[in-house]
Amino acid sequence: MLTPSKKAKSRMYFTQDTENAIIAYNKSDDRLEKNDLYVAEIGYAFDKLAENLIHTFKFYYFDIPLTEVKNEVVSYLIMNIHKFKEGKGKAFSYFSIVGKNYLILHNNNNYKKMKITKSLDVLDFNRNLSSEESEKESKETYNEFVEQMLVFWDNNITNIFRRQKDILVADSVIELFRKRRNVENFNKKALYILIREMTGSNTQHITRVINVMKKHYKDMMYDYTNLGQIDTTNTGSIFNA
């Protein structure tokens, strides 16, 4: 494995220079140049990021020494370095999410209750969001996911739904997510009543629109969990709901 240089320690270990080096690393086809970039600018940042993720979020449930856990996280970040796209968010945020997701998915059974899929699986309205987001890390991840999801729907709602009454229901669902801090204690029935009052649609119609949204939600959750971000661009596609 590439060996990172021992930079002077500071609070800002992952800087704009680090991001610039990652961009240059991904653009380069020269193996020696990539090695130099990693050793000079990237390796130390990845090492500190992995260490901080482990201790900040208390990933202490592994059966192997934490040093080995850290090395595994760094290796995973290197494996996924090519997936970072310039202009689509900050490198620090992207690799923080990638690292956290790796640690969550590979922790032992005692930590499974904090898996991202538990905190993000909310579109069926079957569970109490307040209790599901009780862990600070899960709630932060959930909020970050929802913010990206809202951007996706802002850009694509009229691509996916063609009929005005469907768009109205979908927009009401999105609005509830925007106001989620005020409605998170509502149960499924109460949420349906809210949407019905906002749109005048019946329960069957609301359910049909939500089922379409859930299909896209699953794709977004997969991308967020595995890639660290959602593709929020305008798809230009037409989904015949």
pLDDT tens-digit readout, 24-52? 999 999 999 999 999 999 999 999 999 99
Picking from 63-72, 107-116, 221-230, which range would have the lowest pLDDT averaged per residue?
Answer: 107-116
Dihedral over Cα of 176, 231, 120, 130: its sign: negative
pLDDT score recorded for residue 50: 93
The percentage of the chain sitting over the pLDDT mark of 90, rounded to a whole number, equals 32
pLDDT mean over 104-122: 53
| pLDDT score of 101 more than 90 | no
Round the average pLDDT of the chain to a whole number and report it.
Answer: 78
The percentage of the chain sitting over the pLDDT mark of 70, rounded to a whole number, equals 74
Q: Alpha helices, DSSP H only, in the chain? A: 16-27, 31-37, 43-56, 66-79, 91-106, 116-120, 129-132, 136-160, 164-178, 180-183, 188-199, 203-227
pLDDT score recorded for residue 128: 47
* 59-91 confidence digits (pLDDT tens): 887 777 888 889 999 999 999 999 999 988 899
Structure tokens at 120: 């993000």
pTM: 0.47
Picking from 54-58, 122-126, 165-169, which range would have the lowest pLDDT averaged per residue?
Answer: 122-126
Dihedral over Cα of 93, 96, 102, 108: its sign: negative
pLDDT score recorded for residue 63: 75
* 184-221 confidence digits (pLDDT tens): 555 667 777 778 878 888 889 999 999 999 999 888 88
Q: Which residue has the higher pLDDT, 222 or 123?
A: 222
pLDDT mean over 162-184: 80
Q: What is the separation of C-alpha 212 from the centre of its chain, rounded to a whole number of angstroms?
A: 21
In this prediction, residue 123 has a pLDDT band, given cuts at 50, 70 and 90, of very low
